[in-house]
Amino acid sequence: MTKMITERRGFLKQAAASAVAVGLTYPTSRVLGANNRVRLGIIGPGARGQELMKQAVGLPNVEFVAAADVYTRRHEEAKGLAPNVKTFSDHRQLLDMKDVDAVLVATPLHCHARHFLDTVAAGKDLYCEKTMTWSIEEAEACRAAAKNSKSVVTIGLQHQSTGGLADAKQWIKDGIVGKVTHVEAWMSRNSPRGKGQWMRPIPADCTAANVNWKAFLNGRKDRAFDPQQFINWRLYWEYSGGNVTENMVHQVAWIMRAMDLPLPTAAYMSGGVLSEKDGREVPDTIAVTLDFPNDLVVTWQSTFSNGQYGSGERILGSHGTIERLAGSTDMVTGRSQSGVRYYPEKINRADGSPLQGETKDTDHMANFVESVRTRKEPNAHVEIGYRSAVAAHMANMSYRQKQRVTLETVMQTARK
């Protein structure tokens, strides 16, 4: 693990320097007007990537011109959604295309930083799926590269485009919530035992002949092709941060943005692989505690053994509670059936009635495309991508080290 981190740091320093140098020279492939067609490329048109493609092709004046993936099956699947796309096995060939204005990155988490930095270095605008990076070191490098470029960068934190976030921010700004010392959040799910929770089926053509395994490993120790690791990479630490980086990050980013929070000062995480012991490494039962400045604690819990309460958050203030109950919400879009509500504390307003949020959701992909055209900051900007990534990684570091970790300590390590 230590050797791998050292090697990754070498790559990050070189790639970040390249991104800064090139990004300053080539801000975009062309200047777009409000009605100009936005030409997109996608790196990683797998299951999630194809969902993004469907969202984008449904927007006016948007077309896909290129797709890159290490798995040949994805080339044909991408053509099924955008018949005229050029397909590549090497993402650098896509980035060399002058008629690509912006790039969607939906590759496995451990490849995000490479594709993030290469895209910014090529002078393209970028939509990078969450979590922004696989590690804190990578988050530092990507944040620096983005800030020193002229590329529009948005992160796939779709909850940042929900109307409930705007309502919560306003209620907090207006002071009706009072002093907040605790925010609680949760995400629970369930499926039949023995069916492989969070497990995706392996296609028959997922073979060494059809996959560029070395490119997928992305600097990890060489080994024989493993279709299980390739398809179900979310279950292994080398490629993923588990449910913390898949789901918690959405909710923590929402909380951090609603309350304008800085990085957490400390993190503690407990749990384990308790639901199904099938060889996965990342935990399926989790309890996270994040400490923030100014006397605030944020907790998040998750289980794969019960789906009764879905997901949600409660901001617990001295004057009232902001509650977002997702229930059967699509975690991808952040849209909930119940929206966001404010409940006054009886000790302050005994006759007070709940407030229902009224702000409409924004289409997250449409917001990105609009930002490409207008050069305005997108809803899920790189800073919230960075802060939520650091929070998630601190939680996972605590779990793996079996001890509470502090921001000071992890940053000293990350910046060496």
Cα–Cα distance for residue pair 340/193, rounded to 1 Å: 33
- Give me the phi and psi of 255, to 5 degrees please: -65, -45
Q: What is the mean pLDDT of residues 154-180?
A: 96
Task: List, for residues 279-292, the tens digit of each pLDDT value.
Answer: 999 999 999 999 99
Residue of 225, 294, 258 whose CA lies nearest to 387: 258
- Give me the phi and psi of 21, to 5 degrees please: -65, -45
Domain spanning 2-159+366-381: which CATH class is it, in words?
alpha beta
* Per-residue pLDDT at 413: 85
Cα–Cα distance for residue pair 153/147, rounded to 1 Å: 9
Task: List, for residues 288-327, the tens digit of each pLDDT value.
Answer: 999 999 999 999 999 999 989 999 999 999 999 999 987 5
Residue of 305, 298, 269, 295 whose CA lies nearest to 398: 269
CB 380 within 8 A of CB 157: yes
Give alpha helix (H) positions in 103-147: 112-121, 136-147
* Per-residue pLDDT at 416: 76
* Domain residue ranges of the chain, discontinuous segments joined by +: 2-159+366-381, 162-195+238-362
* Per-residue pLDDT at 191: 79
Per-residue confidence band for 30, with pLDDT thresholds at 50, 70 and 90 = low
> Which H or E run includes 103?
strand 102-105
Tokens matching residue 46 = 């797998």
**Could you give the 3-state DSSP secondary structure of residue 99?**
coil
98 or 21, which is more confident: 98
Q: What is the mean pLDDT of residues 209-214?
A: 98
pTM assigned to the model = 0.91
Q: What is the mean pLDDT of the chain?
A: 90
Assigned CATH for 162-195+238-362: 3.30.360.10
